[in-house]
């Protein structure tokens, strides 16, 4: 074997009459250039080797093939292309079979669909998730999947990005046979030999017709396109996916693949693809922290949650769902009964929707212990405190924890803003104290800010990241400051929004501008959902320490003083008659806004959506840069992930710091300097931003990976 061949990630060997092709490209057998070249070489060997009558493709390790190599996107293409490789394979004059035992996604499923027979083992997961990266399947996937599954189910699979189990893939027509076990090689070889013995014909998916009545199918696709446009507002690739399926229905394969390639390249070149790929990698990158190199996690199975309110109950559910056991501590009998009810409510909701059985609930609740005595938590491995946001209450709790918890127990606080160093200081073991900032609802929201105080031990930090993994959260490492990464930056862009409100835009215009940018909701809608009383309490708490020179917009206080807290009170910035979830504009709110402007002698001026968003985003990016220069966030991507997973930032824009790079940092800085002419105190450009602009650099240059 030549040196080059031995280094190839595609291993080829003859087993009797079967050429066994094993993709060995860890971690997920992505279809990088060397894999494509190896696959093509395997097909040529099959054609030329008279002894070989068939080829079996399997993946080594956990995956079959997880798709194209995402790292190659945006770089100059390197031959052979994936469509060329796949088409050559399908055209092969000898039998080609694949055995799928793990993920067969994107390009991986496209390879499989072009083989002549497909076998799936129980661990197989099949899907075309390109849409999540701003793409469409670009190696024949939009043309072959309708021929195997039918046009509508294929379009739905591609639009959802969903992974199908082996069983579901069989039912959908994507695979021909299921086999038991976890050895794709043995199962595949047996199947190939059986196919050869029975003289099974070569079947080329590209030669199949798309099943179903053409006119009916096209009408159904039109309807799907309308629904999709509503659901995926602003996204580029979903409509293109449907266009490709329409082409598959109407034209022969060769023409269809040509059109697919053109549309794939359009998607590849779209800024949305760049944003979504950044989001994909960043989401996996935030767990790579300096402490991980130096320490191993402490073991944990038994947790205690202090407080059974909104957050305590949500965190309890997250922990129970992760298979951990939880002792919940509350102040008194009444509060612990309410805490338990808060937990059970979540599971009862699932039972009502048919997503959980009463037996499963009982099994889960068997790991839950309610108590009002700290003695019940003497042997737990980790405590997460979620009591009132009051430093004195929290300090008292931590003194109790210090008294009762075993040595080595991790002591975490879910505080939103408070000084965790000060909380740690009341214990005799600050090395064990850390911040775990969950987001509401804690059993659903994926973000977990892991807040690292000065004295915490590295293995406690690593344990917190391990907890995040076990709860399927996306962890972001943050430093201690008022609000950490997310809430600190939020406070600043909310101030920018309030200034725009007072200067002339209505809350409804601001919300509309923010939605048009891609957020699911605007800031005033979010306030109504979360409860205006929460922000009001925070403002009152901070009033004493507020810089007296800083502009303070009182409009939100005027709304809250009336008891208009939002959805829960039937009105806030919007009206919610009879429990409506979608608010209506409220003329009385507009009158309050007008009165406040008049009080300050402000003549309202008009703002376009673009003008609103320039301020909103400049404030966000500027504070993000300050968070970076202070070391509160490790890298720009940590801020991006915080906003993508905790604050509804549109994923296709990659996150605020990625977005700033796409706009250009000189432009963002120029905006800040322009706004500083109106309010120099608020709009102080971050030193880091100025430095990057002076050096001609981007935030991306600070995102060293892994
Ligand atoms: N290309 C390059 N790297 C990839 C990759 C891909 N397609 N898929 C995963 N990786 C990398 C990850 O970045 C991660 O790297 P790291 O260890 O350095 O951080 C590593 O593989 C392991 O990934 P996960 O942490 O996600 O591992 P899991 O076991 O949790 O999940 C998976 C495995 C389900 C395969 C998941 O990684 C995944 O969903 N991958 C993406 C699949 C995908 O989107 N495929 C379509 C690609 S686009 C395409 O095929 C275009 C074609 O139509 C032309
Ligand atoms: P909550 O008011 O719903 O619940 C607090 C619970 O703590 C109450 O059930 C109360 O009885 C209990 N409690 C108070 N003192 C106690 C003590 N000494 N011992 C045991 N239990 C005690 O409050 P919520 O919203 O759950 O907030 C809790 C913490 O989580 C706060 O620090 C808050 O800042 C933080 N947080 C809140 C978020 C939210 O969206 N609500 C999001 C992220 C963090």
- Which segments within 523-586 are labelled E, that is strand? 574-575, 584-585
Interval 526-536: pLDDT, tens? 999 989 998 89
Confidence of residue 573 (pLDDT cuts 50, 70, 90): very high
What per-residue string of b and e applies to 587-611 under the rule 16 or more CB within 10 Å gives b? eebeebbeebbeeeeeeeeebebee
Number of residues assigned to the chain = 706
Cα 292 to Cα 165, 259, 301, 453, 458, distances in angstroms: 34, 47, 20, 16, 8
Domains contained in the chain, CATH given: 3-268 (3.90.226.10), 297-484 (3.40.50.720), 487-702 (1.10.1040.50)
Tell me the ligand closest to 447's alpha carbon: 2
pLDDT at 2: 41
Binding site membership of 70 for ligand 1 (Cβ less than 6 Å) = yes
Give the residue from 654, 642, 621, 615 showing the smallest Cα distance to 484: 642
pLDDT at 195: 98
Atom 25 of ligand 2: nearest residue by CA position: 310
Segment 213-220 mean pLDDT: 98
pLDDT at 697: 98
Segment 55-75 mean pLDDT: 96
Decide if 47 is catalytic: no
Contact at 8 Å (CB) between 414 and 438?
Answer: yes
Contact at 8 Å (CB) between 149 and 217?
Answer: no
Confidence of residue 580 (pLDDT cuts 50, 70, 90): confident
Binding site membership of 158 for ligand 1 (Cβ less than 6 Å) = no
Give residues (CB < 6 A) around ligand 2: 306-312, 329-331, 335, 386-389, 393, 397, 414-416, 438-440
Cα 490–chain centre separation: 19
What is the whole-number distance in angstroms between the Cα of residue 706 and the centre of ligand 1?
15
Residue 290 φ/ψ, nearest 5 degrees: -60, -35
Cα 551–chain centre separation: 35
| pLDDT, averaged across the chain | 96
Contact at 8 Å (CB) between 86 and 171?
Answer: no
pLDDT at 233: 82
Query: Going by DSSP bridges, is the β-strand pair 54-59/95-100 parallel, antiparallel, or unpaired?
Result: parallel
Cα 320 to Cα 361, 438, 462, 634, 641, distances in angstroms: 10, 15, 21, 30, 25
pLDDT at 6: 55
Interval 323-340: pLDDT, tens? 999 999 999 999 999 999
Check residue 626 and report its DSSP letter: H
The C-alpha atoms of residue 234 and residue 245 are separated, in whole angstroms, by 20
What is the whole-number distance in angstroms between the Cα of residue 281 and the centre of ligand 1?
9
Cα 382–chain centre separation: 26
Interval 692-703: pLDDT, tens? 999 999 999 999
Give the residue from 110, 44, 34 showing the smallest Cα distance to 78: 34
pLDDT at 505 over 90: yes
Q: What is the dihedral of CA 494, 496, 497, 501, to 10 degrees?
A: 130
Decide if 130 is catalytic: yes
Tell me the ligand closest to 61's alpha carbon: 1
- Alpha helix ranges (H) inside 353-390: 358-365
Confidence of residue 7 (pLDDT cuts 50, 70, 90): confident
Burial, 577: exposed, middle or buried (Cβ in 10 Å; 0-12, 13-18, 19+)?
A: exposed
pLDDT at 705: 54
Handedness of CA 621, 625, 631, 636 (dihedral sign): positive
pLDDT at 587: 98
Contact at 8 Å (CB) between 270 and 134?
Answer: yes
Confidence of residue 704 (pLDDT cuts 50, 70, 90): confident
For the chain, give the percent of residues with pLDDT over 70.
99
Which atom of ligand 2 is found nearest the CA of 534? 41
pLDDT at 148 over 60: yes
- Which segments within 174-285 are labelled E, that is strand? 177-178
3-state SS record for 656-699: HHHHHHHHCHHHHHHHHHHHHCCCCCCCCCCHHHHHHHHHCCCH
What is the whole-number distance in angstroms between the Cα of residue 638 and the centre of ligand 1?
19
From 305, 310, 376, 401, the mutation candidate for ligand 2 (largest count of ligand atoms within 8 A of CB) is: 310
pLDDT at 706: 44
Interval 426-477: pLDDT, tens? 999 999 999 999 999 999 999 999 999 999 999 999 999 999 999 999 999 9
pLDDT at 615 over 70: yes
pLDDT at 4: 43
pLDDT at 453: 98
The model's pTM is 0.95
Write the Ramachandran bin of 570: left for phi over 0, alpha for psi from -120 to 50, otherwise beta: left
What is the whole-number distance in angstroms between the Cα of residue 675 and the centre of ligand 2?
38
Confidence of residue 3 (pLDDT cuts 50, 70, 90): very low
For the chain, give the percent of residues with pLDDT over 90.
95
Give the residue from 342, 348, 312 showing the smallest Cα distance to 329: 312
Confidence of residue 1 (pLDDT cuts 50, 70, 90): very low
Interval 650-674: pLDDT, tens? 999 999 999 999 999 999 999 999 9
pLDDT at 286 over 90: yes
């Amino acid at each position: 074997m030549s040196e080059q061949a031995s280094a190839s990630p595609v291993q080829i060997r003859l087993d009797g009459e079967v050429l066994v092709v094993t993709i060995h490209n860890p971690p997920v057998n992505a279809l990088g250039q060397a894999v494509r070249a190896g696959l093509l070489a395997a097909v040529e060997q099959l054609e030329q080797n008279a002894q070989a009558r068939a080829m079996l493709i399997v993946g080594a390790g956990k995956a079959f093939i997880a798709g194209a190599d995402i790292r190659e996107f945006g770089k100059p293409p390197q031959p052979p292309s994936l469509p060329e490789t796949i088409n050559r394979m399908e055209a092969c004059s000898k039998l080609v079979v694949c055995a799928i035992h793990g993920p067969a996604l994107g390009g991986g499923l496209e390879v499989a669909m072009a083989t002549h027979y497909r076998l799936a083992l129980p661990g197989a997961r099949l899907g075309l998730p390109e849409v999540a990266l701003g793409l469409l399947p670009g190696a024949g996937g939009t043309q072959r999947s309708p021929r195997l599954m039918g046009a509508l189910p294929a379009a739905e699979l591609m639009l959802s990005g969903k992974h199908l189990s082996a069983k579901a893939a069989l039912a959908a027509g994507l695979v021909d046979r299921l086999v038991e076990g976890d050895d794709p090689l043995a199962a595949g070889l047996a199947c190939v030999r059986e196919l050869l013995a029975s003289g099974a014909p070569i079947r080329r998916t590209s030669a199949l017709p798309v099943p179903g009545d053409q006119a009916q199918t096209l009408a159904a696709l039109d309807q799907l396109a309308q629904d999709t446009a509503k659901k995926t507002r602003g996204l580029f690739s979903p409509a293109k996916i449907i266009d490709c399926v329409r082409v598959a229905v109407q034209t022969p394969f060769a023409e269809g693949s040509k059109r697919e390639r053109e549309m794939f390249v359009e998607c590849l070149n779209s800024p949305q693809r760049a944003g979504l790929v950044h989001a994909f990698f960043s989401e996996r990158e935030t767990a790579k922290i300096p402490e991980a190199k130096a320490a191993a996690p402490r073991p944990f199975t038994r947790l205690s949650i202090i407080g059974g309110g909104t957050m305590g109950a949500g965190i309890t559910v997250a922990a129970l769902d992760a298979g951990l056991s939880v002792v919940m501590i509350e102040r008194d009998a009444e509060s612990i009964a309410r805490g338990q009810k808060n937990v059970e409510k979540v599971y009862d909701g699932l039972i009502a929707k048919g997503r959980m059985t009463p037996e499963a609930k009982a099994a889960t609740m068997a790991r839950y212990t309610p108590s009002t005595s700290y003695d019940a938590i003497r042997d737990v491995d980790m405590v997460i405190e979620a009591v009132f946001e009051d430093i004195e209450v929290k300090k008292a709790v931590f003194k109790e924890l210090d008294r009762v918890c075993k040595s080595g127990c991790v002591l975490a606080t879910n505080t939103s803003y408070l000084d965790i160093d000060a909380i740690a200081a009341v214990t005799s073991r600050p090395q064990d104290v850390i911040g775990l900032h969950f987001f509401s609802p804690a059993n659903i929201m994926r973000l977990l800010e892991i807040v690292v105080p000065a004295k915490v031990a590295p293995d406690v930090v690593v344990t917190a990241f391990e907890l995040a993994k076990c709860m399927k959260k996306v962890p972001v490492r943050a430093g201690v400051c008022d609000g950490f990464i997310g809430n600190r930056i939020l406070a600043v862009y909310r101030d920018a929004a309030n200034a725009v409100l007072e200067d002339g835009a209505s809350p409804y215009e601001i919300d509309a501008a923010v939605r048009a940018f891609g957020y699911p909701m605007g800031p005033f809608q979010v306030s109504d959902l979360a409860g205006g009383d929460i922000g009001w309490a925070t403002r009152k708490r901070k009033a004493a320490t507020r810089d007296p020179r800083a502009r303070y917009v009182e409009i939100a206080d005027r709304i809250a003083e009336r008891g208009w807290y939002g959805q829960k009170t039937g009105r806030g910035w919007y009206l919610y008659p009879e429990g409506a979830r979608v608010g209506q504009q409220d003329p009385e709110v507009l009158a309050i806004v007008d009165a406040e402007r008049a009080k300050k002698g402000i003549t309202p001026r008009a703002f376009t959506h673009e003008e609103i968003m320039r301020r909103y985003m400049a404030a966000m990016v500027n504070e993000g840069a300050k968070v970076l220069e202070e070391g509160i966030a490790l890298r720009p991507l940590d801020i991006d992930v915080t906003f993508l997973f905790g604050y509804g930032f549109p994923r296709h824009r990659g996150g605020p710091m990625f977005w700033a790079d796409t706009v250009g940092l000189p432009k963002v800085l120029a905006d800040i300097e322009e706004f500083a002419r109106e309010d120099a105190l608020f709009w102080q450009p971050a030193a880091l931003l100025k430095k990057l602009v002076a050096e001609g650099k981007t935030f991306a240059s600070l995102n060293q990976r892994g």
